[in-house]
Amino acid sequence: MIGRLILEDGAVFEGEAFGSEGERFGLVCCYSGTTGHQEMATEPSYLGRIVVFRSPMIGNYGVDDSLFESDRVCVEGIVARELNRAAGSKEAKNFEDFCIERQLLGLTGADTRGLNLHISEKGEQFGLLTTKQGGVKDYMAMIRVLKGPIGGDPDRYRVSGEGLLASVRPGGNKTVLTIDLGASVSFYSLLKSNGLFWRAFGPQIEAAEIKAISPDAVIVTNGPYEPGSLKKTIETISRLAGKVPVLGVGLGGVALGAALGAAPEKMRAGHHGMGFGVTDLRNGECFITSQNHSFTINEGSLSRSGAKVVFRNATDGSLEGFAHEKKRAAGVLFDLKGLELLKDLIS
């Protein structure tokens, strides 16, 4: 069955459809990881995305349900150069079977090199993945209609409720409250492994509610929203900054920057996947990170806010993290492997 990815600028990329059929609409972004495909597909911060793999072949190992980052498939669709249909075992299904089971629409045999170059040059844009054979101009008009009302609408990427989402006490004596914009299972496993008692709330929680709980720190998590849709969350963070330590991760870091007075900026192609080198400007050390963000922070406005750049991308020089000593706030745009920044804030 023939499938097509049609971008809002009219570019068309064709291949063989697999997994499901019909039409899927989403923001098209490029994923750099050679592994972690099932984790990415179930990662809440990828909600509403059509993901194009930079790796030439996917599905080289089986899918293990125990490694899911949420209880559902979050991506709208995937595009690959080649799909390995043979991989799998008695313990793990192959990637195509996973897509069929979860009704995830994919495209294989597509010119992903050309598509990656197109996104790198033209920027991330919305697209429609389809197995139907309508005219390109009709689909472009459909994309304009679909993207119009959702660009700043948090309901488009709804990942959590408004009240208490979850609470756990693994034996620690520090209480962390999370404003959950779309955190993964791994994120909460990190908190648990560090012996933290955490309570997770949705993005509409009020500053007064957080102050009443009196946590040792607040973490604003990564998520799939556009920063412009997070006015309530940004207002809440701004009222907390300086009164309780705040750590922002991924989109949460961008929201924290906005709460401090810095301006979010749309990146041309964003950082999605694995293998991103980041330099710690405090000691010159470089480490490898996984990331998923399409927005960064304007450095001029960040400097005027009193915050300082702490981490920088080792490849393109872009901002990857900052700290505001007076406000006891820090933000990073990459996935955390440890909680050193948080420990610094609440020590």
pLDDT classification of 153: cutoffs 50, 70, 90: very low
Encode pLDDT of 31-62 as tens digits: 998 889 999 999 999 999 999 999 999 988 88
Encode pLDDT of 311-323 as tens digits: 999 999 999 999 9
Q: How far apart are CA 35 and CA 65, in angstroms?
A: 15
Q: At what angle do helices 231-240 and 251-259 cross, to 10 degrees?
A: 60
Asked if the model's pLDDT at residue 157 lies above 70, the reply is no
The answer to whether 268 touches 124, Cβ cutoff 8 Å, is yes
pLDDT at 149: 45
pLDDT classification of 154: cutoffs 50, 70, 90: very low
pLDDT at 155: 47
Fold assignment, 156-346: Rossmann fold (3.40.50)
pLDDT at 249: 97
pLDDT classification of 74: cutoffs 50, 70, 90: very high
Asked if the model's pLDDT at residue 150 lies above 60, the reply is no
Pick the more confident residue, 256 or 147. 256
What's the token pair of residue 133?
């054979």
Q: How far apart are CA 87 and CA 99, in angstroms?
A: 14
By mean pLDDT, which of 144-148, 231-235, 277-281 is the weakest? 144-148
By mean pLDDT, which of 151-160, 249-258, 271-280 is the weakest? 151-160
Encode pLDDT of 255-299 as tens digits: 999 999 999 999 999 999 999 999 999 999 999 999 999 999 999
The stretch 130-135 carries a mean pLDDT of: 93
pLDDT at 69: 94
Q: Where are the domains of the chain?
A: 2-148, 156-346
Encode pLDDT of 108-131 as tens digits: 999 999 999 999 999 999 999 999
pLDDT classification of 169: cutoffs 50, 70, 90: low
- Based on its alpha-carbon atoms, the radius of gyration of the chain, rounded to whole angstroms, reads 20
Q: How far apart are CA 106 and CA 129, in angstroms?
A: 8
Fold assignment, 2-148: Glucose Oxidase; domain 1 (3.50.30)
Q: How many CB atoms lie within 10 A of CB 286?
A: 10
- Please indicate whether the domains covering 2-148 and 156-346 agree at the CATH topology level: no
The fraction of the chain above a pLDDT of 90, given in percent, is 78
Q: Which residues, including other chains, have CB under 8 Å from residue 169's CB and lie 6 or more apart?
A: 197
Q: Which residues, including other chains, have CB under 8 Å from residue 110's CB and lie 6 or more apart?
A: 5, 13, 14, 15, 79, 80, 81
